[in-house]
Amino acid sequence: MRTGAGGRFRMLVRLAGSGPYRARSRSVVSPLLSVAVRPVLAAALAGTRTVGGELRLRARVRPAGAGVLQVRVVRNGRLTYEALHRGRAGVELGAGSAGSFRVSVRLVPHAGFRAVSRILTATIHEPRLAMGSTGPSVAALERRLAELRYAVRGADGVYGLDTYEAVLAFQKVNGLARTGRVDASLWRAIARAGVPKARYGGDHLEVSKSQQVLYAVRGGQVERVIHVSTGATGNTPVGRWQVYRKVPGFDWVLYYPMYFLRGFAIHGYPSVPAYPASHGCVRVPMWIATRLYAENPYGQAVYVY
């Protein structure tokens, strides 16, 4: 190795650990030297940042033997996770509801290594949803509506007619504008809502003309809430009735009707607007009509109020 004018030289050496190290040149030996190695800590939050998505922490330190990773997760100001990981960490944070995350990843170093740390933050947003929307946020909405007993076909992540009608039913029950769309205020309302209460005990059907919904009740508990449309002139008869006639399939334009008084029936119909629009019957969405028909026998009580 060539030296400079003063007989000095420099060289770069890749260090695999903290040492100690010694330089030797023929008979000349340097003093022992220990160094504190600064490890490389890579950490990131991956995934979607909307309600219903998947948010994940991925962290890794190199060299892997530099120490132990301490991971702390704070959600909305509250510690929700704390653990130690060797070399790498993978943590599913979840995004089932809106809120903020603050994630701390800190290396607790072994001897000869320096401490390093990373702070990561993320905010889970509530997207606006409407007919035609798709994705994990829609699926989260559908799951929550189902928990509250609003009728949906399933959590398929597609904002179709059934999801629209379930949102309408929720808005009706809770005195909100009947838009069938979801914004931040509706997300908040859904988060704090509870299952509606039945007015009567036992197994029966309840039709609320003011709310424009039908409650399917089992054992005094609401099992399903369905968006309906009653008589445009207010002529759907109030009282306690019983299912006395059922017709499978179509009876003229009425789909799977269940008659409870003269020609008044609960039946499927292609058009179920958010307001009273029928000739006096109780219109329900076509897709739920067959289920109601199958679940409610002759003699089933029907309360209209």
Q: pLDDT tens across 257-282, in order?
A: 999 999 999 999 999 999 999 999 99
Query: What are the structural domains, with CATH classification, of the chain?
Result: 40-124 (2.60.40.1940), 136-192 (1.10.101.10), 204-304 (2.40.440.10)
| 106 bridge partner residues | 70, 117
Please, what is the average pLDDT of the chain? Answer: 94
Please check whether residue 105 is in contact with residue 73, taking contact to mean a CB–CB distance below 8 angstroms: no
| Per-residue pLDDT reduced to its tens digit, 117-154 | 999 999 998 899 999 999 989 999 999 999 999 999 99
- DSSP string across 224-291: EEEE-B-BTTS-SPPEEEE--EE-SSEETTEEEEEEEETTEEEEE-S---SS--BSSSEEE-HHHHHH
Q: How many angstroms separate the CA atoms of 289 and 251, rounded?
A: 13
Distances (CA, A) of 241 to 223, 229, 234: 20, 18, 17
pLDDT at 66 over 90: yes
| Per-residue pLDDT reduced to its tens digit, 168-225 | 999 999 999 999 999 989 999 999 999 999 999 999 999 999 999 999 999 999 999 9
Q: How many angstroms separate the CA atoms of 174 and 190, rounded?
A: 10
* The predicted structure's pLDDT at residue 304: 99
Two structure tokens written together for 73: 């997760």
Model pTM above 0.85: no
Contacts of residue 4, defined as CB under 8 A and 6 or more positions apart, other chains included, come to: none
* The predicted structure's pLDDT at residue 16: 65
Q: Among residues 245, 248, 249, 165, which one has the least CA distance to residue 212? A: 165
Two structure tokens written together for 204: 């029966």
